[in-house]
Chain A
Amino acid sequence: MDERKDDSIDHIVEKPTSPTLPTKGEKHDVPDYKEIEPDQKFHPLLKPKRIILRATIINDNDKSK
């Protein structure tokens, strides 16, 4: 399929939702904030981060005995 045909599909025009992450032009209270050039602002949260979740497995079958 010619991928340019993709442009012919209906487009929904909508404004993107406001990002929750800090973005360019947004002020943040980070310790090294003053050392960053105004047009190159970033926040540590903009780095990929690892999230580890732990949960105890409950065996319902054991409870019913």
Chain B
Amino acid sequence: MITTKVSKKRSVCICQGDIYRDIECLEYIKEEKGVLEISKISYPYVMVLSQVCDLRSDYLNRKEVKKKPEKTQDKFLIFALVVPLFNADQFIRGEHLSEVDLTMRGGMDWESTEGNKIMNNQLPRFHYLEFPKDVNIVNSVMDFKHCFTVSIETLYRLRAKNFVCTVPPLFREDISDRFAFYTARIGLPEK
């Protein structure tokens, strides 16, 4: 297992590989008999996986529009794609989503064949991350099946407080490449 390189330098714009903490995902909003109910899921850590060029163009276009309001917002993004990071120990026991009432496949340990494959990034669905000691995040697993989007404006609003670190180019490209491979898979019928 290779320890993931990270940088605590924050770029001027949101970048692929950025890790943010306490990010909320809106689950639903419903109204019944005059009572409004909002359900959201709060994720301790997420990593941004939108393409770097899209995020950079969004930033430059926003800057441009601020100076010249007559310009179009053609490159604006509304949402950024993020993937949550789960605590590796909770993940291996299948307990990482217990507080959203989901029991995931567990009963493994890191010594088992499957656990070992996850740790070595040999299963397309998952990406194992081991952080350097100076980064206050426990060993984590990203589950590409649980990607969601966060409003770009919300991320910009939160980033001063919630930015944790960013994963540098080669490492983030590896994650992005594995994510793209997983989401582009084709399930063929067995019969």
Residues of A within 8 A of B (CB): 1-7, 9-17, 19-21, 23-26, 36, 40-42, 44-57
User: Is the beta-carbon distance between A48 and B99 smaller than 8 angstroms?
Assistant: yes
Q: Are A45 and B44 in contact (CB under 8 A)?
A: yes
- Chain B residues within 8 Å of A23, by CB: 136-138
| Given known contacts A9-B12, A21-B44, A50 and B36 CB-to-CB distance under 8 angstroms | no
**Do A40 and B139 touch (CB < 8 A)?**
yes
Question: Is the CB–CB distance between B164 and A6 below 8 Å?
Answer: no
Q: Beyond A3-B173, A15-B8: 8 further Cβ-contacts under 8 Å?
A: A5-B56, A13-B10, A40-B139, A48-B44, A48-B84, A50-B101, A56-B35, A57-B36
**Is B43 interfacial (CB-CB < 8 Å)?**
yes
Given A3-B53, A51-B24, does the pair A41, B44 have CB atoms closer than 8 Å?
Answer: no
B11 touches A47 (CB 8 A): no
Cβ-Cβ contact count across A and B, 8 Å cutoff: 135
**What residues on B are CB-neighbors of A44 within 8 Å?**
99
A-B contact pairs, 13 of them (CB 8 A): A1-B56, A3-B51, A3-B169, A6-B56, A15-B8, A21-B21, A21-B44, A24-B137, A26-B136, A41-B138, A48-B84, A51-B42, A57-B34
Q: Which of B119-176 contact A (CB under 8 A)?
A: 131, 136-139, 160-161, 163-165, 169, 173
Check B39 for interface membership: any CB of A closer than 8 A. yes
B interface residue numbers (CB < 8 A to A): 8-13, 15-16, 21-22, 24, 27, 31, 34-44, 51-53, 56-57, 84, 86-87, 89-90, 95-101, 131, 136-139, 160-161, 163-165, 169, 173
Contact A1 B53 (CB under 8 A): yes
Given contacts A23-B136, A24-B138, contact A9 B40 (CB under 8 A): no
